[in-house]
Chains A and B, each alone.
Chain A
Amino acid sequence: MSISVQNISKSYKSIQAIDDVSFEVNEGELFGLIGPDGAGKTTIFRILTTLLLANEGNAKVLEFDVKQDYKAIRNSVGYMPGKFSLYQDLTVEENLTFFATIFGTTIEENYDLIEDIYVQIEPFKKRRAGALSGGMKQKLALCCALIHAPKVLFLDEPTTGVDPVSRKEFWQMLKRLQQKGITILVSTPYMDEASLCDRIALIQKGKILKIDSPSNIISKYDKVIYDIQSKNTHGLIHDLKNYSSHYSVYAFGEFIHYIDTNQNFNPNDLQDYLQQKNHTQIIIKPAQTTIEDVFMDL
Chain B
Amino acid sequence: MKTILFIIQKEFKQIFRDKSMLQLIFILPILQLLILSNAATFDVKNIAITFVDNNQSRESRELISAFDASTYFNVTESYFSENKAIEEMQKGKTDIIVNIPVNFNRNLQKDKKGSISVNINAIDAATAGVENVYVTQIVSAYNKNIQIQSKYISENKEVEQNIMVIPSFWYNNTLNYKTFMVPGILVLLVTMLTLFLSSMNIVREKELGTLEQINVTPIKKYQFIIGKLFPFWVLGLVILTVGLIISKVVFNVPMLGNILLVYGFTSIYLLLILGFGLFISNHTETQQQAMFIAWFFMVIFILMSGLFTPIESMPKWAQNITLLNPIRYFVEFIRMVLLKGSGFVEVLNNLLIVFGFAVVVNGLAVWSYKKTN
Contact = CB atoms under 8 A, between A and B. Distances in A.
B112 interface: no
Nearest to B17: A89
B6 A51 contact: no
B264 interface: no
A146 to B, nearest CB: 13
B103 to A, nearest CB: 80
B230 to A, nearest CB: 16
B163 interface: no
Contacts of A144: 213
Report, as a range, how many residues of chain A touch the other chain.
Answer: 20 to 34
Give the interface centre of A74, A75, A85 by most chain B CB atoms within 10 Å. Answer: A85
B222 to A, nearest CB: 14
Contacts of B13: 90, 94
Contacts of B17: 89-90
A79 B6 contact: no
Interface in B205-243: 208-210, 212-219
Interface in A34-91: 46, 49-53, 70-71, 74-75, 77, 79, 81, 83-90
A101 B2 contact: yes
Contact of A103 (B10, B14, B209, B217): B217
Contact of B3 (A70, A81, A90, A102): A102
Nearest to A84: B209
Interface string B2-15: 11001100100110
A258 interface: no
Nearest to A72: B218
B373 interface: yes
B218 A75 contact: yes
B43 interface: no
A99 B10 contact: no
B372 interface: yes
B312 interface: no
Contacts of B158: none
B216 A50 contact: yes
B98 to A, nearest CB: 65
A81 B209 contact: yes
Give the interface centre of B208, B213, B219 by most chain A CB atoms within 10 Å. Answer: B213
A52 B373 contact: yes
A98 B2 CA distance: 12
Given A74-B217, A86-B213, A103-B217, A50 B372 contact: yes
Given A50-B372, A101-B3, A90 B217 contact: no
Interface in B177-222: 208-210, 212-219
3 A-B pairs closest in CB distance? A85-B209, A79-B216, A85-B213
Given A87-B210, A90-B10, 5 more contacts: A51-B215, A74-B216, A81-B212, A85-B213, A144-B213
